[in-house]
Structure 1
Amino acid sequence: MTTNTQNKHFDLHTTGFGFFNRVRRVTPAKGDPYWAVTVAACRGDENQKTYFECSVVGTKAKALFDEHLSSVTKDDKITASFKLGDLYPETFVYGSGEKQGQTGVTLRARLLKITYLKVNDEVLVQAQQQAAGEAKPSQDAA
């Protein structure tokens, strides 16, 4: 058995289509400000959703947030096809509500790429040709 010792890291990418919620600019006490978003990714036959807390890291994705998403409100409907990387779970403890004191799990990821972006009824980005295996928006979800 041969082992590849050249590989310094491994890639884990997730592609999908879903809704962008809680678009926000985060200004940490130390470090540079960055964009963050909650992605409600569509899955299954019954319009189920899986939520990802994402920091926006892709150069073109950051530019799209600067240009098109810096002034959105919570009432705007934002749909997108995306690629996430470096997915990992993180636990937390509910501070209030019916689950107060219980442990919960959130999925964290880095938003790498946006291939389709629609805000309300206006398509702002639509890649000319999507790579094989990348999620394409369905007519039902948009």
Structure 2
Amino acid sequence: MTTASNNAPTTYFNLHTQGIGYLNRVREVPVRRGQPFMACDIAALHGASDDVEYTRFDCKVSSGEAERLIREHLEDVRAERKVLIAFRIGDLWVDPFLYEKGERKGQPGASLKGRLIFIEWIKVDGQFSYRAPARTDSPAAIDAAAESDQADTVAEQHQPASAPARNSTAARQSA
């Protein structure tokens, strides 16, 4: 990061997390002072292809294009269709909390939060419904596309009976 005087722009380093996961719990979050915002959970796939694990991210939808796409697929999520997305999250952070109910009452927990900034593609029940325009501005984009196709195939082979969804409130109360 560089910060210079004399009105020179500040430069930042970006830390992005990208992956493939199931879209869950799409909601509009009211704010006391200010505009409400859209949020969602993503159950991201990771681990060995024959033993897939999930990590849940609670995301604020931060780009106009991502918000438009999430809104277009809101009914699919509500209808409990399997909505699989290739995503990019920025500004990942941990939100610690204490369980308020259930077996874990009083115990600490944590939620991974971030900003959903890009959606590369969306599949609903295994069928493509959206693909972002191809980026050909770098060799890394070509490699990422090939890797994404391979990961997509693995994800389709390991779809759970129902996409894993964890309502953080329910998780805190029942876990």
**Is this a same-fold pair by TM over 0.5?**
yes
The aligned counterpart of 1:139 is 153
C-alpha distance in structure 2 between counterparts of 1:14 and 1:93, whole Å:
26
How far the C-alpha of 1:81 sits from its partner, in A, is 0.1
C-alpha distance in structure 1 between counterparts of 2:127 and 2:144, whole Å:
25
Aligned partner of 2:68 among 59, 63, 77: 63
Say what the alpha-carbon RMSD is for the aligned residues: 2.2
| Paired-residue identity, % | 35
Q: Does 1:5 align with 2:3?
A: yes
In structure 2, the CA distance between the partners of 1:48 and 1:26, relative to structure 1 (3 Å rule), is same
Aligned partner of 1:43 among 46, 53, 58: 46
**Matched residue count:** 140
Q: Map Cα deviations across residues 94-121 of structure 1 (whole Å, 9 max, x no partner).
A: 0111111001011110000001111224
SS in 2 for 1:72: helix
C-alpha distance in structure 1 between counterparts of 2:103 and 2:74, whole Å:
33
Q: TM-score, normalised by structure 1?
A: 0.86
In structure 2, the CA distance between the partners of 1:13 and 1:120, relative to structure 1 (3 Å rule), is same
| Ranges in structure 1 where 5+ consecutive residues have no aligned partner | none
Higher relative helix content: 2
Q: Map Cα deviations across residues 61-101 of structure 1 (whole Å, 9 max, x no partner).
A: 01112223256316221100000000011100001111110
How far the C-alpha of 1:43 sits from its partner, in A, is 0.7
Contact 2:61 2:116 in 1 (8 A): yes
Aligned partner of 1:129 among 104, 125, 134: 134
**Greater Cα radius of gyration, structure 1 or 2:** 2
Aligned partner of 2:21 among 18, 23, 46: 18
Question: Within 5 A, what are the aligned runs for 1:77-88?
Answer: 77-88=82-93
